[in-house]
Amino acid sequence: MSNGNGEAQIREVLSTFHPELVNIPADVDLIDSRLINSLAFITFMQNLIDATGHEPDLDSVPIGKLRTIEGLTEIFFRSDAPSAQVAE
């Protein structure tokens, strides 16, 4: 999966919160800029997991990477990104 496609998927999920915003720079802090508040962040992350089918191991991710489109793309779409073990 290419990061360009991954970034598009993240932007698509983000657009459910702010459909009017289409040109958000990939390095903008989504929380500091108030694009996603702390309560919506949990929903946003679950929507990303649902959309990508990938649940990253958040214990191994630097917190700063969760705050930008650029960081989220790396977390969700990097081929060697660690995944959480999900009990069935």
The predicted pLDDT at position 67 comes to 94
Structure pTM?
Answer: 0.79
d(CA 33, CA 36) in angstroms, rounded, equals 8
* pLDDT one-digit tens code per residue, 36-46: 998 899 999 99
Task: Report the residue count for the chain.
Answer: 88
Percent pLDDT > 90 in the chain is 51
Position 5 confidence tier, pLDDT thresholds 50, 70, 90 = confident
User: Phi, psi at residue 31, to the nearest 5°?
Assistant: -85, -50
Position 27 confidence tier, pLDDT thresholds 50, 70, 90 = very high
